[in-house]
Structure 1
Amino acid sequence: MVATKQPTGRMPGMTTAEEQEKYRQAGSFGAAADAYERGRPPYPPEAVAWLVPDRARTVVDLGAGTGKLTRALRAPGRDVVAVEPSAGMREQFSQVLPDVRVLDGTGESIPLPDSSVDTLVCAQAWHWVNPRRAVPEVARVLRPAGRLGLVWNLRDVSVPWVAELDRILRDYAAAPTEDRQVERVGAPFGSVERQDFRWSHPMTAGEVMAMIGSRSYVITLEPVTREELLARVRTLLDAKRPTEMPYVTECYRAELELP
């Protein structure tokens, strides 16, 4: 595990492309909940520890999906609540984590009381929200000096075969979610810190295929086009025979400023 501190005053945010397309892709995840659970990697403990302070007793996982991050957030004496808009994802989540509360909600409408949360973390999902509405909503549910954390697991394209995989995906998707634009979180949050963590996750070729199949920009392709993409990925994997996927986990955190 290699951690790299990055200077930043900005956080990733949603793209400014047409919102209807954004929400169409966001809504596609429910149909692929099984593939999401099989193919998406966990989050390194070092990244979670950097995002969530020890003092946090109530933590929200916003856009929790099937609970990949939720599992890492759990700790003795800590109440973890998941918020997820997709019914299919919530169903899968409840099968995996039946003892964790999962609520129907979005970044723009979080079904929790004012000042009830110590830390809110959003993994692989902030690019789906409208920051102009989500930032005030997150601030509403956070307690004074509460923390917002954003995290993405990104494939490490400095590794040649991963770069080749990335090129295949870009042939079929004009704007994969990793190519997000940035948006200031801004007031009422303070300055933003960034830390990157490099690591590798053991993955079979089948798990890599499941991971690719769980991507919104793959799910929403026409069936013939999707099969063409997946066939090219299979050919690459047959040639390279990977046993792990290298990742860069990109983390951001900012604290709510006291009035």
Structure 2
Amino acid sequence: MTFSHALTDGERQRHSSSFGTAAGAYAAHRPDYAPEAVRWALAGAPGPRVLDLGAGTGKLTGTLLGLDDTLGATLGNPLDITAVEPDAAMLAELRRGLPSVRALQGSAESIPLPDGSVDAVVSGNAMHWFDMAVAGPEIARVLAPGGVLAGLWNVFDDATDWVAGLAEVTGPAAIGPRDVPAAWRIETAELHLPRTGADSPFHAPEQAEFPHGHRRTAESLVATLGTKAGVLVMPEDERSELLARARAHLAGHPATAEGEFTLPLLTSVLRVRRRP
């Protein structure tokens, strides 16, 4: 992912609005989220009403649905899931893939739900695009007292040598900073979460990481890289050159040259609770 705090406002808007141009590829090639990360994100929520905010094509929504039996039992009732997504093409993919889910067009800055109507707000690989000065109060508005807000991010685990090599040849546009796990220490919470403190509606943040994996081939991993915002906004010749370098690297490593392999990921979670 591209770390949005390093972008100008204009660049941030261009990056965040790029995904609709690749909505089908995003649905086909982006990973879901570690189930244990989602369980941790929702632990202590006061009820089963969950909003997936900036839901994209429904990657996190689908993980929530897959955990409905166990999470529903923990929270007292079957999950009541609503997805909200601003991009029409991404929303169309979500509705196509998950027709049973209530899916609404809207944004983190303008959530089309009543006050206090959800017990948890989750966001998968999207919260860094929010204008939190506006979105923070809006999220607090729709959250019930004691409700949970959690951002989840899948990041490449470059402790594996071929992933580290891939990061070297593609750069941060495709994978993110070189030292990806270290970038998600608790200090990063202030970059992505609403303001916390004594006069904030939110308690201090918590953070956790969970191992995850995504079954890929060399070609399908290249397709995944092609859905990253930093790659989508590149001029065509630069994008083609970057993806060709990735393809060559994967073809030259025995772990990834042939057949399927598991891309090692970490699902990193930042979580805050709304004050009662």
TM-score by length of 2: 0.83
Alignment of 1:62 with 2:53, yes or no, is: yes
Gaps of 5+ in 2: 70-77
Q: 1:227 to 1:244 in 2, by over 3 A?
A: same
1:189–1:94 distance in 2 versus 1, CA, 3 Å: same
Selected match of 2:18 from 15, 21, 28: 28
Q: How does 1:127-142 map to 2 (within 5 A)?
A: 127-142=128-143
Query: Paired residue for 1:45, among 32, 35, 42?
Result: 35
Q: Distance in 1 between matches of 2:154 and 2:121?
A: 17
SS state at 1:15 partner: helix
Q: Distance in 1 between matches of 2:173 and 2:206?
A: 33
Which range moved further: 166-175 or 62-71? 166-175
**Matching residue's letter, 1:133:** V
Taking a change above 3 Å as real, the CA distance of residues 29 and 14 of structure 1, as seen in their structure-2 partners, is same
Look up the SS of the partner of 1:218 in the other structure.
helix
Provide Cα deviations, 1:71-123, integer angstroms capped at 9, x if missing partner.
11121521100011111101111110011111111111111000000000011
Contact preservation (8 Å) 1:38, 1:207: no
> Does the CA contact (< 8 Å) of 2:219 and 2:247 recur in 1?
no
Partner of 1:219: 232
> Following superposition of structure 1 onto structure 2, how do residues 87-236 of structure 1 map, counting pairs within 5 Å?
87-170=88-171, 182-183=190-191, 185=194, 186=196, 187-236=200-249
Kept in 2, the 8 Å contact 1:58–1:117? The answer is yes
The alignment-based identity, stated in percent, is: 39
RMSD between superposed Cα atoms in Å: 2.1
Is 1:238 the counterpart of 2:256? The answer is: no
CA separation of 1:175/1:162 partners in 2, compared to 1, >3 Å: closer, same or farther? closer
CA contact (8 A) 1:14 1:126 kept: no
The one-letter amino acid of 1:94's match is R
Determine the C-alpha separation between the residues in 1 that align with 2:155 and 2:57.
18
Whether contact under 8 Å (2:148, 2:271) holds in the other structure is: yes
User: How many residue pairs align between the two structures?
Assistant: 245
The 1:81/1:220 distance shift into structure 2, 3 A limit, reads same
Go from structure 1 to structure 2 and tell me whether the alpha carbon gap of 1:162 and 1:253 turns closer, same or farther (over 3 Å shift). Answer: same
2:63 counterpart of 1:72: yes
The runs of 4+ residues in structure 1 deviating greater than 3 Å are 171-176, 178-182
Cα distance in 1, alignment partners of residues 268 and 172 from structure 2: 24
Structure possessing the higher relative contact order (Cα contacts under 8 Å, 6 or more residues apart) = 1
SS of aligned partner of 2:267: strand
CA shift in 2, pair 1:171/1:188, >3 Å: closer
- What is the aligned partner in structure 1 of residue 74 from structure 2? none
